[in-house]
Amino acid sequence: MNNVLSGKTILVTGGAGSIGSEIVRQALKREARRVIIFSRDETKHFWLKREISDDRLETVVGDVRDAESLEGVFLRFDIDIIYHAAAMKHVTLM
């Protein structure tokens, strides 16, 4: 099977969460050129970058509900593929 992630720049919204971080790991294993984590929690960014020591990994603090912060990512990076994993975990509390 052809590796569609190889050499690509991948954006993972919610990339520091449980599902998003696994998408990040898999993209790096599949030789993505760059993987960008976009999420609100800078503490999770810190711990994930400590766990995954890879120069291809970038973190950007932002919220998918804020169009300007999201637009900044698109202006800064040439993104090939987006995985949207940003979500509220405890929907009943919202």
pLDDT on residue 46: 92
29 domain residue, yes or no: yes
Instruction: Please state the rounded mean pLDDT for residues 7-13.
Output: 97
Q: Give per-residue pLDDT as tens, 14-23.
A: 999 989 999 9
Check pLDDT > 70 for residue 86: yes
93 domain residue, yes or no: no
Q: Which range marks the domain in which residue 76 is found?
A: 13-88
59 domain residue, yes or no: yes
4 domain residue, yes or no: no
Provide the number of structural domains found in the chain: 1
53 domain residue, yes or no: yes
Look at phi and psi of residue 92 and say left if phi exceeds 0, alpha if psi is from -120 to 50, else beta.
Answer: alpha
Check pLDDT > 60 for residue 61: yes
6 domain residue, yes or no: no
Contact 14, 87 (CB under 8 A): yes
CA distance 39 to 93: 20
pLDDT on residue 23: 96
Entry pTM: 0.89
